[in-house]
Structure 1
C-alpha cells in the first residue's frame, strides 16, 4: 500500500489502519532512546488493560517493565481514569503562579505525609528530569541567597538523573551523554558500591566509596552546593543496588560537611522498593526528594521536588531576585493532580501494600532458579524489583536487541538494559501472571 498523504490522513474520520499508522510514524516520528538505523518498526498499541498491552494485530504483551516504570497500577486503571474524567469536566488547567486548586493542595499534603522529617514544601514541575533540575537550582540559589558562592555538586558513578542540562551534568558518568559534553557543568563523581545477593566484597566497596566521598568533601569544603544520589537503586544504569547503611553513612558525611542531600526517587518512589519511599526504608532524612514516574499512575506527566521548610524560607523576601524564578506552563496541572490523588489512594490501600510484599516474595521464590543458569550473575532484589546480569555486548548491542525480540515474540514486554534483565511489574499483576513471566524468562535464559 502507498503511504497516505497528509491531506488524506486529515480527511479520515475513521480509525487509521495499522499500516497507515506505521507509515505516518515512519515519516514524522522520532522515537526516544532508539537507533532508527537498526531498530525494527514499532508496534502499534491500540489498548491496554492491567498488565497487558494489545497491539493492532490483536496480540497481547505482558508489560513487566510498567512502560518505563510509570504504570504503578497497570494500564487503563478505572479509578484513575474516572478521576481524570471528573476533573476534566471541572477545571483542566489554570496558571499556577496566580491560582491554587484543591487537587494540587491535597496531592502535596498527601505525598509529604509519607516522607520523613520536615520535608513539607512541594514544587510542581513536568517530569523526573525537571524535578531534579529544580532541586539542583534550588540548592545553588539557597546558598546564594545567604551570601555563599557554592557551585560544586557531587554525584555517584553510574548515576542517571534525567536529560536536562543540569540533570545530565550530575549524571554524566552514566555514559550516554557524551554527545553533549560541552553543555554540562563540572561535577565531582565518586564510586558507587554496586552490590547484589551474597556479595562478599560489599563492605570493602562501601569503604572505598566513602573514603572517596570524604576526600571530595574535604577538598571542596565550603563549596559544595549538594550531594545527589538515587537511593538504594540506580535505575537506568542497570538496576544497580546499594545498601541502606551506605546511604546512612552518606547522610552523616553530608551533615558534617554542612551541605545538602538530594535524593532522586523518580524511579524508587511510590512503593518500588517495598516501602512508599526509599528514604523512609533507608532511615535517612534528605533535604530534597525528587519524584515523578509513578506519581500519576502512568496517566499524565508530572514531577515534584519536595524540600524542607527552612530551605523554602531562604527564598522568602521583599526582593524578587531572591524568589525561585522557575516554572512550567503546565505546573500543577489539575488533571495530573487528580490522577496523582487517585493513584496515591490506591497505593495506600491495605490490599496494595500487601501486594508489594507478595510481589517481592514471589521474586525471591523464582530468582534463585534463574540465577543458577550458566551465564547468570549478580542476582538482586529490592522490593518489587528483581534483576540479574547476563554475558552480552552491552547497552545497544546485538545480544540485547535479540533478547528483546525473543521476549516480545513470547508476549513479554522486556527492555533489557545492556546485559541486565529486570522485572519491575505493575502492582496489579497476579501471581499467575508473574509466574508466567518468570517461566518465560527462565526458558529464554536456559537457551542462551
Structure 2
C-alpha cells in the first residue's frame, strides 16, 4: 500500500506541481538543487522575522533538550510563565489573563467558548454571535460558523450554528454597517453575546480593508450595550498592519484577543487567547462545573513557548518596527507604479500588506485566474498565492530591497501578461 499526502486547500485533481523545499533562510526558500524562491507571503502569513532566525532556532534547541512536553492541566512550567509575563509588554493592561492553545482556529474556538461561558455562568442566556460579512476565522466548526458562508464551508453547512451578520463597511456604507450592529446590540429580547472581527483587514475574505475609526466605533457600540468584543488578531497581530496589534491603531482594548501565527515568529504552532479579568472571574468558582472546559494535548508546549519568548526578545532587541516601516514605504512606492495599469483595480494597503484585483473589481476566490497566477509566480521562483484574482504581497520583515524589487517586477510582468492574454 502506498500512502499519499493530502495537501490543504489543494485540488489534486488538477495535477498542479507541488514543489519540494529542502531548507529556508531569511526571506527565501531553497529546493534541493539550490533554486532560491522568494517567500512573498511569509509562508502563509506566519513568518515575521524570517526563516530559521538563529535566536528562535537556538531557543528551540535548548528547550527541547530540557523539557519537551508536559500536561498543562493543573501543572505549569517556566517557559509558559515567562511568556505570560512577557506578553504584558505588548498587550493592553486590561487583557491580563491568557489561555494557551495551538492554532489560530483553536484560539478562536477558545474565544467563542469563553464568551458563551461568561454569559452562561452569569445566568444570562446570551448565545448569539455577531460576525462581519466576508470574514474568515478558521476551519474548525466554531471558527467556520463565525466565518462567511460560501465555498469554504458549504459542504459542512449542517454543522454550523446561526450567527448575526453585519455588512462589510465598504466606502459609503460604513454608517449602514454601524446601524446594523447597533440594531443587533440593542435588542433587549435577544441581546447578542459577542461580536468577533478581524481588525482593519479581512484576510482570506479577499484582503478587504477598513479604517481604524470604523473599528473604534464598532467597539464603542459593543461597549455601550454590554456586548463582548472579540478581536481575531491571528493574522493581523505581530506587526502585519504596521503596529504590533491592529487594535492599537483604533485605540481600543477588546474583551478577548486571539493571536497565533507570528507569536513564535511563525516557526512553530502556538496560540493565545487573551481575556479580561471579567471573563476569568465568570469562570472562577468553587463549583467545578463552572471551570473553563477546553484544552488540547499540546497546550502551552514548552518548546513552542520558548520559541515565542525568543520572538518577544527579538521585538525588544532588534529594529523590527523599522523593518516594518521600510516595507510600508516600499509598498507605497510600488502602488504608484500600478495605479495606471488598466487591468488592476482595488489597490489597497494595510501596513505590510498590499493587495489588488486583476481584471475584475470584485475579488473571486474561485476565479480561474487564481491557479494561472499561482503557476506564473511559481515559474519565476516567487511564492505568491493569490486569493482567486486578488493578488497580495505580505513578506517577512527581514526582506531586502533587492528581493522586494524582484517581487514587484514579477507582479508587474504577471499583470501585463494576463492583460494581453
TM over 0.5: yes
Residues 158, 174 of structure 1: 8 Å contact kept:
no
Deviation at 1:151, TM superposition (A): 0.4
Deviation at 1:350, TM superposition (A): 4.7
Deviation at 1:424, TM superposition (A): 0.5
Task: Determine the structure 1 residue equivalent to 2:239.
Answer: 271
SS for the counterpart of 2:348 is strand
Per mean C-alpha deviation after superposition, the further-off stretch among 103-112 and 372-381 is: 103-112
Q: 1:161 aligns with which of 137, 141, 145?
A: 137
Task: Determine the structure 2 residue equivalent to 1:406.
Answer: 376
Residues 242, 324 of structure 2: 8 Å contact kept:
yes
Residue ranges of structure 2 left out of the alignment (5+ in a row): none
SS for the counterpart of 1:386 is strand
Aligned pairs, how many? 416
Counterpart check, 1:111 vs 2:87: yes
Deviation at 1:397, TM superposition (A): 3.2
Residues 371, 388 of structure 1: 8 Å contact kept:
no
Task: Determine the structure 2 residue equivalent to 1:82.
Answer: 58
Q: 1:124 aligns with which of 94, 100, 111?
A: 100
Q: 1:301 aligns with which of 269, 279, 282?
A: 269
Supply the distance in 1 between the matched residues of 2:148 and 2:377 (Cα, whole angstroms).
31
Supply the distance in 2 between the matched residues of 1:130 and 1:225 (Cα, whole angstroms).
19
Deviation at 1:41, TM superposition (A): 3.1
Correspondences of 1:1-400 after superposition (within 5 Å)? 27-173=3-149, 175-194=151-170, 202=171, 204-219=172-187, 223-391=191-359, 394-400=364-370
Supply the distance in 2 between the matched residues of 1:221 and 1:209 (Cα, whole angstroms).
21
Residues 365, 388 of structure 2: 8 Å contact kept:
yes
Deviation at 1:376, TM superposition (A): 0.5
SS for the counterpart of 1:97 is coil
Deviation at 1:298, TM superposition (A): 2.0
Supply the distance in 2 between the matched residues of 1:263 and 1:426 (Cα, whole angstroms).
23
Deviation at 1:39, TM superposition (A): 4.0
Residue ranges of structure 1 left out of the alignment (5+ in a row): 1-5, 7-23, 195-201
SS for the counterpart of 1:106 is helix
Task: Determine the structure 1 residue equivalent to 2:410.
Answer: 440
Residues 115, 280 of structure 1: 8 Å contact kept:
no
1:165-184 superposed Cα distances (whole Å, 9 cap, x missing partner): 11111103364111110001
**RMSD between superposed Cα atoms in Å:** 1.5
TM-score (norm: length of structure 1): 0.90
Deviation at 1:347, TM superposition (A): 2.4
Supply the distance in 2 between the matched residues of 1:223 and 1:175 (Cα, whole angstroms).
30
Residues 368, 388 of structure 2: 8 Å contact kept:
no
